[in-house]
Homo-oligomer: A and B are copies of this chain.
Amino acid sequence: MRILAKDIITGMGSGEVELKGWVHRVRELGGVSFVMLRDRSGIAQVVVEGKADLSLESVVTAVGVVADNDKAPGGAELRASRIDVIARAEPDLPFPVNGDVSKIGLDVILDNRPLSLRNPKIRSIFSVQSTIIDAFGSFLRGRGFTEMKTSKLIGSGTEGGTGLFEVAYFDAKVYLAQSPQFYKQTMVASGMERVFEVAPAYRAEKHDTPRHLNEYVSMDLEMAFIDSERDLIALEKELLASIFEAVSSRNADDLAAWGATAPDPESVARSPIVAHDDAVAIAAAELERAGSSSKKAYEISPEVERLICAWSAREHGSELAFINEFPRRHRPFYTFPLNATHTMSFDAIFRGLEITTGGRRHNEYRALLDVLPKFGLKAEDLTDYLNVFKYGCPPHGGFAIGCERLTQKILGLANVKEASLFPRDRKRVRP
């Protein structure tokens, strides 16, 4: 009967049990071998007489009885009568899987993904990510949202024609979707009212930075009958608090491995909402405060995002801040105007990084027809989209959370690529 590593604890019964897992580490001492055995639940110590002839990463079955040992993980160890090899690992590991992650370079980690994912600390990133995805969906289902799955092959971009990957689709040319924007609006207008999707999104942008991926997991939602982006911000505060709470309770060991904590719900609730123009002024004041003489803040840049978060932490005790009312020229054509110059839009910034863009959308057919030419767009190229509004669409809006960025910032990872299982960037298309 197989038990898991985490079940080997002080005061267990004395019957024979079986562990199955990977040889994480082997140490020989005084005629006995100490084998650290890794499975999906954690690592257990297995003690066996004599020299254990096991290559690291081999998959084995260990059979024996559990005995207390306060030096072992869980306060107990398996005293094995035998260890059988199920699948032997070749001994030429290209880097030490059981080593210190901080000493392995990012390229080595990503080039050797099948092996680096065996490192428990690296793998823990994706346990946290699994919780994030689950908590996102669970929270929204509880609020009457329906999960949808939309096509990633589209005829044209929603954010303009640049930054699209082209796909040879039989005799047609199509593109990989940058977002499910049109589709989630379609579903809102269908009467579904509240929808969400967790799916890949694509940006054919050439920059290679610690905050960009060319393929990422977008956690999107859209909802009907809102008044302004403030309704969305209120929802996102509750949603993020719920995600943080799920990670804190289900992934305590993973957080500890990274020396990380997720924000508490109270701090999320008091996150400030700052209008774009005020945010720029706050950033300028922060620069001045820091004694910087040469720099000025004109618009929301990565540096300004960091400055706003520093200000929010100091003044509001929150690592999260919302910037709203972006100028119209900074937002796509479908963004609902606040006035002649600004929009009902927002970004969420968490620990210095933008994790969300969202806003209320145009919902009136004639207003959309008016606005298209100002963005160089033609109604005849957007017939399917415009039909959503031609036949009655309620006031609505939505936002998306970048799954890898949220994972990165919860755990304090230096690069967003660490939070993508098989990241794609300009040069990386494997493994």
A interface residues, Cβ below 8 angstroms from B: 2, 20-23, 38-40, 55, 57-59, 86-90, 93, 97, 112-115, 117-118, 120, 123, 126-127, 129-130, 133-134, 137, 141, 144, 146-155, 165-170, 172, 174, 176, 182-183, 186-187, 189-194, 198-200, 204, 206, 214-215, 217, 224-225, 363-365, 384-385, 387-395, 403, 420-424, 426, 429-431
Contact = CB atoms under 8 A, between A and B. Distances in A.
A421 B364 contact: no
Contact of A199 (B200, B424, B430): B200
A38 B93 CA distance: 62
30 contacts: A20-B394, A22-B191, A38-B191, A40-B193, A59-B392, A86-B394, A87-B393, A87-B394, A88-B392, A90-B390, A113-B186, A114-B189, A117-B192, A126-B192, A127-B192, A133-B147, A149-B198, A149-B200, A149-B421, A151-B424, A152-B152, A152-B200, A153-B215, A153-B424, A166-B168, A169-B429, A170-B206, A199-B199, A199-B200, A385-B431
A29 to B, nearest CB: 24
Nearest to A60: B392
Contacts of A193: 39-40
B118 A191 contact: yes
A115 B391 contact: yes
Nearest to A176: B167
Contacts of A421: 148-151, 183, 187
Contacts of A187: 117, 126, 421
A97 B191 CA distance: 12
A156 to B, nearest CB: 9
Contacts of A155: 429-430
A173 B388 CA distance: 35
A114 B183 CA distance: 9
Contacts of A20: 225, 394
A427 to B, nearest CB: 8
A214 B190 CA distance: 25
Nearest to A188: B40
Contacts of A214: 169
B424 A191 contact: no
Contacts of A392: 22-23, 55, 57-59, 87-89
A31 to B, nearest CB: 26
A120 B424 contact: no
A16 to B, nearest CB: 18
B186 A117 contact: yes
A130 B148 contact: yes
A190 to B, nearest CB: 4
Contacts of A168: 165-168
Which among A39, A144, A190 has the highest number of chain B CB atoms within 10 Å?
A190
